[in-house]
Amino acid sequence: MPHLPKAGARPVWPWDEQPSRGTWFGDLSWLLPVATALVLAAGYAWLGETVAGAAGALVGCLVGLVVSGLLHVLVDRTVSGRRPARGPSSPRRN
């Protein structure tokens, strides 16, 4: 039988608490991915500008955005786990 907390009791662990959904300034879940993309793009643009001037800065910025997108896809696939198998659940018979 699972242990049920008493009414009004705090959860046992801090991570058991449910996060609040709204704040007075809105949901900020978009902030970290956007900040990561901006930092990568700016860093690669600075590196490109240092090496090859304005054209290098443009190429570096594009490379930073591509790297940020690839990292986002890689992390998303890693944390989401295995995808369910497609097709019939039983093996084929010939």
**Is there a domain that residue 65 lies in?**
yes
**Is there a domain that residue 55 lies in?**
yes
Distance CA 85, CA 56 (A): 44
**Is there a domain that residue 48 lies in?**
yes
| pLDDT, the chain, mean | 78
Q: Name the residue with higher pLDDT: 80 or 68.
A: 68
**Is there a domain that residue 73 lies in?**
yes
The number of folded domains in the chain is 1
Residues 12-35 have pLDDT tens digits of 666 666 666 555 666 777 888 889
Domain span holding position 44: 30-78
Query: Which of 4-8, 22-26, 85-89 reaches the highest mean pLDDT?
Result: 85-89
Q: How far is CA 21 from the centre of its chain?
A: 18
Instruction: Tell me what pLDDT residue 12 has.
Output: 63
Measure the CA angle with vertex 27, ends 42 and 13; round to 5°.
Answer: 105
**Is there a domain that residue 43 lies in?**
yes
Residues 35-44 have pLDDT tens digits of 989 999 999 9
**Is there a domain that residue 87 lies in?**
no
Residues 49-64 have pLDDT tens digits of 999 999 999 999 999 9
**Is there a domain that residue 70 lies in?**
yes
DSSP state of 1: -
**Is there a domain that residue 19 lies in?**
no
**pTM of the full predicted structure?**
0.59
